[in-house]
Amino acid sequence: MNKKTINSSLADRPLFSGLICIGIASILSLACAALLGIVDIANIVMIFLLSTFLIATSLGRNAAIFSAFINVVFFDFFFVPPRFSFSVDDSQYLITFLVMMIVGLVTGHLAAKLKEQIKDVSARERLAKALQSLSRGLFSAQSDEQIVQVSKSALEVPLGIEIDLFITENLDQLKIDKFDMQSVAWSMQSGTRIFNEVDEVDGKSIIYLPIRSELKTLGILVASDSTKSLRHYGRDDLLQTAANLIALEVVQLRSAQARELSKVEAATERLKSAILSSLSHDLRTPLTTMIGLAESLQERNQGINSQSKADLETIRSQGLRLSSMIGNLLEMARLQTQGPTLKKEWQPIEDVIGSSIKHFSTSFPKSIVKTSITSDVPPLYFDEVLIERVLCNLLENAAKYSLESATIEVLVRKNEQFVEVSVIDAGTGFAQEPSQLFEMFARGISDTNKSGMGLGLAICKEIIEAHGGSISAKNNESKAGSVITFTLPITENSELPKL
């Protein structure tokens, strides 16, 4: 580095190298003059040529040309007869002068060119090394800040330029007075580089390089050199390569961060569902024993009177209701943490109504359910497990708030783009504003001793809304009791067979 600086400064000072050429020619003349008797004049020519060649290799082309000229002058003056004059007796010497001149010029040119090439090669080697150290540094970078730091330290000094790197996709975050914001914005938005080779005002060479992945601009690299064009030694191309390397690293860093995040999310999800399923298992196990034992006692014929049998039935049915409540609680927890994950399929609504009624009547054996479905109700696209839960909740709700043997009605009909399902009971109706019923833990009758946590309707709302439907409640106008209606959207399905 230091050697380079000295050499280039020597070559840059013509007066100094001119003096050196004159000095060398003088010394040679003196030495050869002393040896004139011993050394033949033809060999003196050779010595002068050699000096031109050496000057060419060390001081460059201009010095070599000057040296060739000075050598001819000195040779003519000191050695060509008549000596110590510029006149020439033998015209043969004119050819010698010409050859000296040409050889001097050609060797000087060749030597200087070689030197320039060496200089160029070593400069490019420095650039290649800078690129290498950049890619090494980027490889171990773990954050955007580190990428900026590594890029600055790897490129600035070896390239002799000033670098600013901003890793952001948002232009608004870039408020840099130092640069022409228009160029920055245009470069980032269009994803193309802007090269201002030499600025007309301050002579600065500046390049704006967007950091681009396949489709997105991830940031911008601004490089500037205040003394010479960035095109020197192909630094502009090198900077483009550097920008590509940086883009690659930013993309990798982003995807690594995303992977890390999704790993954490997946682990959280696994934990949640593990807790839910073990809770479900742990809570249901004692209930199963309780219900099972109550049932097997009921079937025993000896030692149990009818009153005890009725009590056992209460134990059994309350156990089943408790189990359904636990189901609601777990379902709500699942919906709240994971959001409803729907496993929708095309199916007739009758299927799920039938199975919910069957399920419902195991815990409310005395209730009577009447169904009526109009014939124009098409198959619907829904998650049967979740809709069964909705229907079970609505039926249980209806049964809880009406007389034990009262009839519950389920009406299904088509209404434009929706299918309406209404569950109608003949109970006490709602005391409060029906729309509040669907808030979590709201209860229709506040001072009631009926079982239930008000969770049921909140879950229904969550499930129905996830299906793109709505749910509403009102008191029956004509008679006692309440009506809860939910809707499911009718969607066309071309796959369905025409029947």
Partner 1 sequence: MTNTVTKVLVIEDDADIRGLIIKVIKGMDLIALEAQTINDGTQIAAKEKPDLIILDLGLPDGDGIAFINNYRSWSTNPVLVLSARVQEHEKVKALDAGAEDYLTKPFGTAELMARMRVLLRRLSQSDTNTPTFSFGDVKIDLSLRKVTKVDEEIHLSPIEYQLLNILLTNSGKVVTHRQLLKEVWGGQHTEDNHYLRIYMGHLRQKLEDDPTQPKFLLTEIGVGYRLDI
Interface ranges with partner 1 (CB under 8 A): 276-277, 280-281, 284-293, 295-296, 299, 316, 319-320, 323, 327, 330, 343, 345-348, 350-358, 362, 369, 371, 373, 379, 384-385, 388, 410, 493, 495-497, 499
* Smallest separation (angstroms) from partner 1 to the CB of 379: 7
Closer by beta carbon to partner 1, 384 or else 465: 384
Closer by beta carbon to partner 1, 352 or else 483: 352
223 token code pair? 């490089």
* Smallest separation (angstroms) from partner 1 to the CB of 378: 11
* Smallest separation (angstroms) from partner 1 to the CB of 440: 20
* Smallest separation (angstroms) from partner 1 to the CB of 409: 12
Closer by beta carbon to partner 1, 203 or else 348: 348
* Smallest separation (angstroms) from partner 1 to the CB of 322: 9
- Please give the torsion angle defined by the CA atoms of residues 147, 151, 154 and 156, in that order, rounded to the nearest 10 degrees: -150
Q: What is the DSSP letter of 383?
A: -
* Smallest separation (angstroms) from partner 1 to the CB of 383: 9
DSSP-based three-state secondary structure for 38: coil
Closer by beta carbon to partner 1, 281 or else 479: 281
* Smallest separation (angstroms) from partner 1 to the CB of 333: 11
Find the helix or strand (DSSP H, E) in which 91 lies: none
Answer for the pair 158, 127: CB distance below 8 angstroms, yes or no. Answer: yes
Closest CA to 202 of 177, 224, 218: 224
Closer by beta carbon to partner 1, 171 or else 287: 287
Cα Rg of the chain (Å, integer): 48
* Smallest separation (angstroms) from partner 1 to the CB of 345: 5
Closer by beta carbon to partner 1, 183 or else 317: 317
What single-letter amino acid sits at 39?
A: V
* Smallest separation (angstroms) from partner 1 to the CB of 401: 22
Q: Which residues contact 215 (CB under 8 A, 6 or more apart)?
A: none
Closer by beta carbon to partner 1, 153 or else 280: 280
CA distance 329 to 78: 116
CB atoms within 10 A of CB 286: 11
Bin 194: left if φ > 0, else alpha if -120 < ψ < 50, else beta.
beta
Closer by beta carbon to partner 1, 256 or else 271: 271
- The residue with tokens 């070559």 is 11
448-486 burial: b if 16+ Cβ within 10 Å, else e: eeeebebbbbbbbbbbbebbebebbbeeeeeeebbbbbb
Answer for the pair 163, 130: CB distance below 8 angstroms, yes or no. Answer: no
Closer by beta carbon to partner 1, 323 or else 470: 323
Q: Which residues contact 77 (CB under 8 A, 6 or more apart)?
A: 29, 83, 84, 85, 86
> N- to C-terminal Cα distance for the chain?
88
